[in-house]
A and B are shown apart, each in its own frame.
Chain A
Amino acid sequence: MIPEIGQFSLILAFCFAIVQGTLPLVGVWKNNTALSNLAVPAARTQFAFVAIAFICLDYSFYANDFSVLYVASNSNSHLPLAYRLAALWGGHEGSMILWVSILALWTMAVTLFAKSLPETFRIRLISVMGMVSIGFLAFIIFTSNPFERLIPAALDGRDLNPLLQDPGMVFHPPVLYMGYVGFSVAFAFAIAALLDGRLDITWARWTRPWTTVAWVFLTLGIAFGSKWAYYELGWGGWWFWDAVENASFMPWLVGTALIHSLAVTEKRDAFKVWTVLLSICAFSLSLLGTFLVRSGVLTSVHAFATDPRRGVFILMYLVVVIGGALILFAWRAPKVGLGEKFDVVSRESMLLTNNVVLVAAAGSVLLGTMYPLLMDALGAGKISVGPPYFDAVFVAIMAPGLFLMGLGPLAKWKKASLPEIGMRLRVAAIISLVSALLVPLLMGKLTLMTAIGVFLGIWVASTTIILLVNRIKTRKMATPDLVENLKGIPLAFYGMLLAHLGIGVFILGVTLVKGYESEQDLRMDKNDVAKIGSLEFHFDGTQEIAGPNYMSTEGTFTVTSNGKQVAILQPEKRFYPVQGSVMTEAAIQPGVIKDMYVSLGEPLENGAWSVRIYIKPFVQWIWAGAILMALGGILALTDKRYRILNKKAAKEAQDALEAFEA
């Protein structure tokens, strides 16, 4: 009964999506208020029915209803409750349910919080989001029904893939999708603006907070996934340039470009056409990512079984949504005037370069991801593209961009002077150059790549600090008191500083872990000691322990440094009987300077084990950097100008606008 309610709700949600995606647009076009007023109620009803479908499916997981094929394929009665609930997005069908649920959630948020927008604009916005929803609901209903019954019911389920039985599974997909799908709002803003002919400063100001929220989620989601891979896969990697990872990274790169481009549009009324194109591209890449992952055209670590029918459906959908958006763009964008002029050396030009770099980087990732497919389709044989390509090309493209990142924020709008910027940054340049030589020498080995990496990391961080110092200095005349001075600086500025600092921290983490990680594969008997640097890993032996749905062999390693105990690490080898699979749970002692990482390989004779020990210097900085970036985004959101939750401010803005128009 419950699954049928879910199925029926999905169909109703589909109907309401059609209403939401079509009639209000007609209403705005024909000036028919009855039709255009349908937008908000239709969107909210759609949200309600999608939510019911989601709850019904998750209830089936909760209640172990193995007469539902999807539940039987992805869950098991012995699975702990949190994983049963998260198993909803453990497979294809449920992932799509999560997709539409989050889209509905964003639409709901727009109906609730985007009240300061002019009525017709808001209706178009909501309606465009309805259009996006139609396609995905149709996709679920016609090709990927999660409520399909299995008759007779299975006695027990086939279990969630043990790789996914991890707290990361509970948080990573929803957060990632919040980011991914969140770009649909920026997309809808762009389409509504093209329809409206309103591509101006106000449009940029409305779009910015929504884009930033999505970007924050995407940043956190990607960082989450990377961290998860780091501790779960048992071999200490944190990024694999896998097609699925790339699918989330491309929207991130373009989204980052979009955030910067929106800033220019808001402040200088420039880059308008470019900003609108980026808004379309960011979401298009999210959709393309969905296509690549769900259609199975590319095999990947996250591979799903192939079903060409699904691939064709998503491709058609891409053609309609992206193709439609780009046709609209080609038709309406030429009418948008150029923005204000700016000099070759100016903040605008620096931000433009930043945009070009980020888009080129996204393009190179896209090329690398699609390259095997392109070559094959051209009949030119096959070439595999892997980390060597990505590492080389991506770093080469990003490095100059990161260097400019230090200059850009100090440059003045319209026209800046390079010598002046140079003077301000000479301290940062010296610090960065010295550390580029000193840090690698301290770590034990100087190579060109680590020197460049350290230089860029310190450069980005130190120029960011100089930026703050500079800001304080220029305000010193008006507000001599330091605390008052700091208080007076807008939160958005601090947000920018924090996010840029995060990039610096991230670069340092990547550089140092790549340059100085050490790995040992050992055969260890009980009471053997492995020495790595000043650390001694003493293998105390193993014991059997029982988990909720697995049996585990847990090894114990006591780590000492100069005779002092620094950590006890207990890696596990887990056996999940339902799928008969063995999982490696690494034990990690995280630290600011280094992580100690031990994982059990295979049991050998007489209680000996093959053991992997890694020392990963500064690896935590990678995620710390990502968290700083996200915090920066959050801080920027709390800035007075964008308080989407602040109704009073919204009301005031509305009144001011109306007064102005009158």
Chain B
Amino acid sequence: MNRTFKFLIPLVLFFIAVGFLFKGLYLDPHEVPSPLVGKPAPMFQAPVLSDASKTFNSADMKGQVWLLNVWASWCGACREEHPVLMAMAKSDQIATYGLDYKDIDQEAQAVLDANGNPYKTIATDANGKIGIDYGVYGVPETYVIDKAGVIRYKQIGPITEEVLINKIVPLLKELQR
């Protein structure tokens, strides 16, 4: 190999890395095939948002199909998704539960007060521990969990109307049968 060229290798590698980093700035984390799909949802207990005396226990959800939506007040994409969640709540087809991820309770409550609350109950995960169990990659994320407590679908990034109609609703119909 040419001797001068050899000394250019670090530079070339660096610029390749920069290319990826630059692209990374404009990407949204979405569609990660989760290794958890098809596996039992990790059990957790967590304080309920704005009512720390109550505890949400995921074990109580056995026997029903439910959605676990991971969100946070600091997350912009969650606001995009919010109207879709509201519409789902109105249609009463499914119970949506929230997991408030690495958030400040007051700020989360303020967002809900301003925009409406689509959740039956919201569990809080202030230090992200539950998020780690679920392999939360970014916020928002949504898990569809069946009657046996098995994760059947994971949506990374906001639920769009398209995702709702083409993926989630058919899956729910099948699971609730």
User: When A305-B74, A312-B25, A373-B21 are in contact, do A333 and B7 touch as well, CB less than 8 Å?
Assistant: yes
* A330 touching B21 in the complex, CB below 8 Å, given contacts A163-B126, A299-B139: no
* With known contacts A163-B127, A330-B7, A311–B25 Cβ distance under 8 A: yes
For residue B120, which residues in chain A have a CB less than 8 angstroms away from its CB?
A: none
Q: Would you call A384 and B10 a contact (CB within 8 A)?
A: no
Interface presence of A601 (CB below 8 A): yes
Q: How large is the interface on B (under 10, 10 to 19, 20 to 34, 35 or more residues)?
A: 35 or more
Q: Give the contacts of A621-643 with B (CB-CB under 8 A).
A: none
Of chain B, the residue at the smallest CB distance from A323 is B14
Collect the chain A residues with CB atoms within 8 Å of residue B20's CB.
370, 373-374, 377
| A277 CB within 8 Å of chain B | yes
Kindly identify, within residues 1 to 60 of chain B, every residue whose CB is under 8 Å from any CB belonging to chain A. Answer: 3-4, 7-8, 10-11, 14-15, 17-27, 29-35, 45, 47, 50, 52-53, 55
In the complex, B93 has a CB within 8 A of chain A = no
| Bound form: Cα–Cα A203–B156 in Å | 51
- Assess whether A548 is interfacial by the CB under 8 Å rule: no
Task: Please tell me which stretch of B61-69, B101-109, B161-169 contacts chain A, meaning at least 4 of its Cβ atoms lie within 8 angstroms of it.
Answer: B101-109
- Given A299-B139, A315-B21, A580-B50, check contact A377 B27 (CB 8 Å): yes
With a cutoff of 8 Å between Cβ atoms, the chain A residues found around residue B47 in the complex are 582, 602
Q: Which of B45, B55, B129 contacts A235 (CB 8 A)?
A: B129
Docked complex: A283-323 residues within 8 A CB-CB of B: 284, 291, 295, 297, 299, 301, 303, 305-306, 308, 311-312, 315, 318-319, 322-323
Give B138's nearest chain A residue, CB to CB.
A299
- The distance from the CB of A70 to the nearest CB of chain B, in whole angstroms, is 16
Q: How far is the CA of A583 from the CA of B129 in the complex (A)?
A: 13
A479 CB–B CB distance under 8 Å: no
Given A297-B24, A315-B21, decide whether A601 and B45 contact each other with a Cβ distance below 8 A: yes
List 10 tightest A-B contacts by C-beta distance, closest first.
Answer: A382-B32, A326-B11, A580-B105, A377-B23, A373-B24, A330-B7, A311-B25, A297-B24, A602-B55, A330-B8
Known pairs A373-B20, A382-B31 / 16 extra A-B pairs, C-beta < 8 Å: A299-B29, A299-B138, A299-B139, A308-B26, A315-B22, A319-B18, A323-B14, A326-B10, A327-B11, A329-B11, A330-B7, A372-B137, A374-B20, A381-B32, A579-B106, A602-B47
Q: Pull 25 A–B residue pairs with CB atoms less than 8 Å apart, ordered by A.
A: A234-B127, A277-B10, A284-B14, A299-B138, A303-B102, A305-B74, A308-B25, A318-B18, A326-B10, A329-B7, A330-B4, A334-B4, A334-B7, A376-B27, A377-B20, A381-B32, A381-B33, A382-B29, A382-B30, A382-B33, A384-B135, A386-B135, A579-B106, A580-B52, A580-B109
- Identify the A interface with B (CB < 8 A): 158, 161, 163, 233-235, 240, 273, 277, 280-281, 284, 291, 295, 297, 299, 301, 303, 305-306, 308, 311-312, 315, 318-319, 322-323, 326-327, 329-330, 333-334, 370, 372-374, 376-377, 381-384, 386, 575, 579-583, 601-603, 610
